[in-house]
Amino acid sequence: MSRVRRAAVAAALTVPLLLAGGCGIATTGVVESGRAGTVKLATATDPGLLYFIAPDGALVPVPVSDRMRWPDLGFTIGLLLEGPPEAAREAGLTTEIPVPPGKSADGMGYVRAAVKSDGDGKTLRVVVPIAVEPLSGAAMRQLACTALAAAHTTPAPEILFIGTESKERRAVCETRPGIAADQSG
């Protein structure tokens, strides 16, 4: 008997045994168990991730690598400022970051952010074309998580955002809501 034939016979004998082993187990309907599980993201940098807000307030990474290939941080923040792509909007993702002045709400065109790093790489300053002082905690978390995903430094630097009002504001990447994730700088 060939190997293939023996494997086929073994499979043919095993399947009925497995089905018979399930006898006596009552079926159940759908069991509601609450919110789906969450996964901790890897800490490796991925400049193709933008963070948007899920209906429950959590930040969700959205890959946009089809529009960029290892771009700089300023370009990545510019993509975030455009708002969620169409597929992300259809999935219920939103943003609390306002559309920059002089830019249409449909996200056409590109905005860039200026990035300045201190000499030792411990602090990253990102100059954005919007006021940062009135931004919500969720908006600051979106900016911070997107910046960290695009920063090519380890360990993660402190991130300060400087807005059009020349105010500087610190932000921390925290993907879950309800935790104070930003501090005034």
Dump pLDDT digits (tens) for 5-21. 676 666 666 655 555 55
- 8-22, 96-110, 124-138 — which one is most confidently predicted on average? 124-138
Which residue's structure tokens are 């016979």?
9
Asked if 130 and 166 count as a contact pair (C-beta separation under 8 A), the reply is no
Q: Is the pTM of this model over 0.75?
A: no
Residue predicted with more confidence, 180 or 5: 5
Quick one: 179 exposed, middle or buried, by C-beta within 10 A (0-12, 13-18, 19+)? exposed
Of the pLDDT bands very low, low, confident and very high (cuts 50, 70, 90), residue 181 is: very low
Q: Give the chain's length.
A: 185
Of the pLDDT bands very low, low, confident and very high (cuts 50, 70, 90), residue 103 is: low
- Average pLDDT rounded to a whole number, residues 67-88: 80
Cα-based distances in Å from 151 to 145, 166, 174: 10, 22, 16
What pLDDT does residue 90 have?
94
Name, in order, each residue with C-beta under 8 angstroms of 41's C-beta and a sequence gap of 6 or more: 61, 175
C-alpha–C-alpha distance, residues 6 and 38, integer Å: 43
- Average pLDDT rounded to a whole number, residues 100-117: 62
pLDDT reading at 28 higher than 80: no
Of the pLDDT bands very low, low, confident and very high (cuts 50, 70, 90), residue 70 is: low
Name, in order, each residue with C-beta under 8 angstroms of 56's C-beta and a sequence gap of 6 or more: 35, 177
What pLDDT does residue 42 have?
44
CB atoms < 10 A from the CB of 132, how many?
Answer: 26
Of the pLDDT bands very low, low, confident and very high (cuts 50, 70, 90), residue 4 is: low
Which residue's structure tokens are 């190997």?
3
C-alpha–C-alpha distance, residues 24 and 44, integer Å: 48
Asked if 95 and 53 count as a contact pair (C-beta separation under 8 A), the reply is yes
Please report, as a single letter, which amino acid is at residue 66. Answer: D
- Average pLDDT rounded to a whole number, residues 110-136: 80
pLDDT reading at 111 higher than 50: yes
Name, in order, each residue with C-beta under 8 angstroms of 88's C-beta and a sequence gap of 6 or more: 52, 62
Domain boundaries in the chain?
A: 49-184
- Average pLDDT rounded to a whole number, residues 98-119: 64
- Average pLDDT rounded to a whole number, residues 158-175: 89
C-alpha–C-alpha distance, residues 100 and 172, integer Å: 22
